[in-house]
Amino acid sequence: MELAETRAVMAAPTLMLVCPVCSSDSADTLGVAGGGKGEPDASVIMRCEACESVYLTPPRSPQSASQERESQRISSASQLRRWTRGRADAARTARITSSGELPASGSYDCIALDFALECARDPGEMLGAAAKLLSPDGRVFVIAGNARSSCFAVFGGRHWSGYASGGVRQQLTARSITQLCAATNLHASRVSSRFAATAWLDSARSWLRDWGAGSGLAAVLAGRWPVPVIVAGALEAFAVLRGRGTVLVAELVRA
């Protein structure tokens, strides 16, 4: 990214000047995502020093969605069935996606925020609204990209696949989820990272495209060759063992 392009991004009228999670104005610049040929408009990548959240300024537009991000997505429908198995009171479930549409009313035993907080203009407000729909013994499950993952540590300065999703405004960490809970009468009873090896392949393809690699080389990482898939799986398995998997899943209960 040229200096002139970076200055143009900084002059955009929709910049987020404070962290959307904790409202701190103390942040470090990690890099600039997007803006290349065939990519969405550029965004400056900021990491909040207070809560470790990463936010894009300006945020991604909803029209800039990438199919690559979908390969990381956890199926909340199947996850909810597993989470609620054996619970007689867990018949009422709701899934909130990146569109941010909340149920109009009701009381739910399980609510899944399926990569929803990443796209929310006010993630604390969205989490608080979900908490109001929760039954007394219900649970909220937050599914989000992990901005403290090993994959992010390698590619997060520009090429991390999490930036490719349409409408992305921020990326979360275990610490930032805990801070969001503090203001919404919720408590994180469990936060763990999950396996998503395709993030390594998607991010590596983004890196190759940015450096002008031919389509043939990028195709090697598209999943048709076993060696890159095996290497990505080994890297992600080691990351999960260290608590640095690509996807975060947090189980929240009433405080």
The pLDDT tens digits for 182-229 are 888 899 999 999 898 889 988 988 888 887 765 666 566 655 678 888
Domain coverage including residue 110: 64-254
Inside any domain, residue 156: yes
Inside any domain, residue 237: yes
Q: Regarding predicted confidence, which is higher, 153 or 216?
A: 153
Among 40-54, 147-161, 164-178, 217-231, the least confident range: 217-231
Residue 13, pLDDT score: 44
Inside any domain, residue 8: no
* Interval 15-47: pLDDT, tens: 778 999 999 989 999 999 876 655 557 889 999
Inside any domain, residue 244: yes
Inside any domain, residue 148: yes
The β-bridge relationship of strands 108-114 and 134-145 is parallel
Inside any domain, residue 74: yes
Q: 125: which DSSP letter? A: H
Inside any domain, residue 24: no
Total number of domains constituting the chain:
1
Cβ-contact 69, 203 below 8 angstroms: no
Q: At what angle do helices 226-241 and 198-210 cross, to 10 degrees?
A: 120
Which of 169, 163, 164 has its CA nearest to residue 118?
Answer: 169
CA distance 16 to 44: 10
Q: Is residue 3 very low, low, confident or very high in pLDDT (cuts 50, 70, 90)?
A: very low
Give yes or no for residue 175 having a pLDDT over 60: yes
Domain containing 114 — which CATH number? 3.40.50.150
* Interval 98-150: pLDDT, tens: 777 888 777 888 888 988 999 999 999 999 999 999 888 888 999 999 999 99
Inside any domain, residue 32: no
Q: Is residue 12 very low, low, confident or very high in pLDDT (cuts 50, 70, 90)?
A: very low
Quickly tell me which residue has 């020093």 as its tokens: 49
What is the pTM for the complete model shown?
Answer: 0.82
Quickly tell me which residue has 């936060």 as its tokens: 191
Residue 97, pLDDT score: 80
CA distance 167 to 36: 18
- The CA radius of gyration of the chain, in Å to the nearest whole number, is 18
Residue 49, pLDDT score: 93
Give yes or no for residue 9 having a pLDDT over 60: no
Which of 197, 187, 202 has its CA nearest to residue 149?
Answer: 197
